[in-house]
Amino acid sequence: MKVLCYGIQEAEKPIFEQNNKNYNFNLSFTNELLNDENVNKVKGYDALILFVNCDASADNLKKIKELGIKYIVTRTAGFNHIDLKTAKELNYVIGRVPGYSPTAIASLAFNGGLSLLRRTSYIYEQTRQGNFKIDSNMFAKETKNCTIGILGTGKIGYETAKMWKALDAKIIAYDPYPNEAAKSFLSYTTFDEVIAKSDLISIHMPYFKGENDDVINDEVIKKMKKGTILVNAARSELVSLPAVIKAIKANHLEGYATDVFPHESEIINHDFKDKFPSNLKLIEELIALYPKTLISPHVAYFTDEAIKNMSEISFENLKQLQTTGTCDNRID
């Protein structure tokens, strides 16, 4: 089977190739993401492994079908980049990766939050510029004197909370479906109480379109303590960027660390050091608030263990689709 894998970085190729020894697929790699302009490049392949921000729209899926693609899987847990209604109409059964190394995402969220809390980004930037003066912006509150709020205690939120607990922080959390294992080191409470009492809030809840868009908005941020730090390693749609920018400029929020942001398909793998396009001015404005904002390019997944999980599960999904017409990780 000839398989085209999207969004592949050089560091990922050896892991994909190693795990492919058990399947013997004919793999091709591209750093590109599926879009309107490159969809015709799928011709000659049997299967596609999609990645986040691949545009599997209705039109692109129809073209893919016409060009002879038999199987489609995505190496992501989320699948809002795929028009499932059209996929079903075209008789595609789509496989996904329901979970991969939660510590990969948790560790980046933790590091972003800790960097803002301990002021390390600011400190290192000053000395990088040759400035060794100590100033009040370097003054930090220790984690053992902080309350960390976790919104969503699934696998990733659970691992993030454990990391903060290792530094002796007090952990409170909100989740409509409490994690019994987490109760040994955190206290569940209401969403409003997490918002009002936390020194740092780490977001790990799922996104449901039309239901919890901008769950962190102007009104919610106003209820946070002055100096609160916000971390988002979940979905960009959960947080209102204009509200965050406004709150940081007003010195109400101390900082914002995020691995997700709007217009990702237009941003990932692009270099805007010369000039941002006009429709991305909001991202440029957010970046300009550094060191109070830390933005990473949706890279939380980028660890050896996570890529190992992604490739193994994707290959198994393809094998099952080829042999049975369905797979254990099908999207229904």
pLDDT (tens digit, 9 = 90+) per residue, 300-320?
Answer: 999 999 999 999 999 999 999
pLDDT at position 302, please? 95
Residues 6+ apart with CB under 8 A from 71: 1, 46, 47, 48, 92, 318, 321, 322
- Read off the pLDDT of residues 138-149 as tens digits, 9 standing for 90 and up: 999 999 999 999
pLDDT at position 329, please? 97
Give the neighbor-by-neighbor strand order of the sheet with 26-29.
26-29, 2-5, 47-50, 71-74, 94-95
pLDDT at position 188, please? 98
Q: How many angstroms separate the CA atoms of 123 and 20, rounded?
A: 44
Which of the residues in the chain have pLDDT under 70? none
Tell me the pTM.
0.91
pLDDT at position 324, please? 97
Residues 6+ apart with CB under 8 A from 73: 47, 48, 49, 50, 94, 95, 96, 314, 317, 318, 321, 327
Query: How many degrees, rounded to 5, is the angle at CA 321 between CA 82 and CA 33?
Result: 35
Active site residue 264: yes
pLDDT at position 267, please? 86
pLDDT at position 163, please? 98
Average pLDDT, the chain: 95
pLDDT at position 229, please? 98
Active site residue 298: yes
- Identify which of 155, 192, 154, 188 has the alpha carbon closest to the alpha carbon of residue 173: 188
Question: Residue 158: which H helix or E strand, with range?
Answer: helix 155-165
Residues 6+ apart with CB under 8 A from 16: 5, 8, 27, 29, 307, 311
- Identify which of 187, 179, 249 has the alpha carbon closest to the alpha carbon of residue 221: 249
- The residue from 237, 264, 266, 285 that is catalytic is 264
Q: How many angstroms separate the CA atoms of 297 and 258, rounded?
A: 9
Q: Is there a contact between 248 and 292 (Cβ–Cβ < 8 Å)? A: yes
pLDDT at position 289, please? 95
- The residue from 159, 235, 254, 316 that is catalytic is 235
pLDDT at position 279, please? 84
- Read off the pLDDT of residues 251-309 as tens digits, 9 standing for 90 and up: 999 999 999 998 887 888 888 887 888 888 899 999 999 999 999 999 999 999 999 99
Residues 6+ apart with CB under 8 A from 18: none
- The residue from 75, 96, 204, 298 that is catalytic is 298
